[in-house]
Amino acid sequence: MLQNDNRPIALFDSGIGGLTVLRALMDQLPNESFVYLGDTARLPYGSKSPQTIERYLQQNTRFLESRNVKAVVVACNSASTVLLGRGPRQGVPIYNVIEPGARTALKFSRNRKIGVLGTKATIAALSYVNTIRSLDQAAMVYQQACPLLVPLVEEGWEADPVAKLIVERYVGPLMAGDDGLDTLILGCTHYPVLKKIIGEAAGSGIHLVDGAEAVGAELAADLASGRLIPSASREFSLEVMTTDTAPGFLEVARRLMLPHRIERLVEVDISLPSLLKP
């Protein structure tokens, strides 16, 4: 049995949002190296059909597996939704962000009344509803699609007054009912960037669940148990790639990743036939 595995852990998202997962993993797993892919050429995923997202999932996973990684984290709720519908697979372990987030929500909820903010794809697929109910049939789950939040984060407008107005428009109706929600899942990896204003809109006493932190804890547990082999290298590395170098991406990414540093971006073409062979 291997005593150590210095291969990196890979992550992908449609854009900047998955960097919230990367930052959480770097905080929790300081000895590991990472590879990140932002599929910015095809952003956003949340408004695409399940068939299209499935194709993106396959292409991104195969590309990252070709980089000799030891695990792949699907740092995107819309793609994780598609992943949940697939059966067991051989090869590199793949982690989604929905199941860890659902388990964490149930852990913190006192009354089993849980709200979910997500993209249209995640909400339409009932991803959190089905996952939470499979874990606790007594739980009640209330959803709200928030299609404008991803573009706000990608533009770096999280501090703009318009972000507060839009968040209040989405969160207000969810919290205004008589349902008595006590837990709110940030069901898109872009949303932790807006965590402060989402918390303000939700009100005091509402526990916000960040799937980035939840999946980090799951990976840490697997490294501790031996399901994944930890790195013994002191030569940490971070490679950040995009499928299109959008203006302003690096600036926003560096701000979101603080105190961690992104030195540069590498633009890649994941459609190369040699990378898409079964």
Q: The domain that contains 136 carries what CATH number?
A: 3.40.50.1860
Both 135 and 35 in one domain: the answer is: no
Q: Which residues of 46-67 are buried (b: 16+ CB within 10 A; e: fewer)?
A: bebeeeebbebbebbbebbeeb
Give the per-residue pLDDT at 2. 62
Confidence category of residue 275, pLDDT binned at 50, 70, 90 = very low
Both 172 and 248 in one domain: the answer is: no
Both 136 and 184 in one domain: the answer is: yes
Helix (H) or strand (E) holding 171: helix 161-176
Both 89 and 110 in one domain: the answer is: no
Both 198 and 228 in one domain: the answer is: no
Q: What does the pLDDT look like over 143-176, one tens digit per residue?
A: 999 999 999 998 889 999 999 999 999 999 898 8
Residue 147 is assigned to a structural domain of this protein = yes
Q: Of 161, 185, 210, which residue constitutes the final position of a domain?
A: 210
Residue 5 identity: D
Both 113 and 131 in one domain: the answer is: yes
Q: What does the pLDDT look like over 92-150, one tens digit per residue?
A: 999 999 999 999 999 999 999 999 999 998 999 999 999 999 999 999 999 999 999 99
Greater confidence, 126 or 264? 126
Q: How many contiguous H segments (helices) and E segments (strands) does the chain have?
A: 11, 10
Residue 4 is assigned to a structural domain of this protein = no
Q: Of 210, 244, 265, which residue constitutes the final position of a domain?
A: 210
Confidence category of residue 224, pLDDT binned at 50, 70, 90 = confident
- State the catalytic residue, choosing from 141, 188, 212, 240: 188
What is the domain extent for residue 181? 99-210
Active site residue 76: yes
Both 50 and 62 in one domain: the answer is: yes
Residue 1 is assigned to a structural domain of this protein = no
Number of domains in the chain: 2
pTM, full prediction: 0.90
- State the catalytic residue, choosing from 24, 29, 71, 76: 76
Q: Residue 90 above 80 pLDDT? A: no
Q: Of 159, 194, 210, which residue constitutes the final position of a domain?
A: 210
Residue 3 is assigned to a structural domain of this protein = no
Nearest-Å Rg of the Cα atoms of the chain is 18
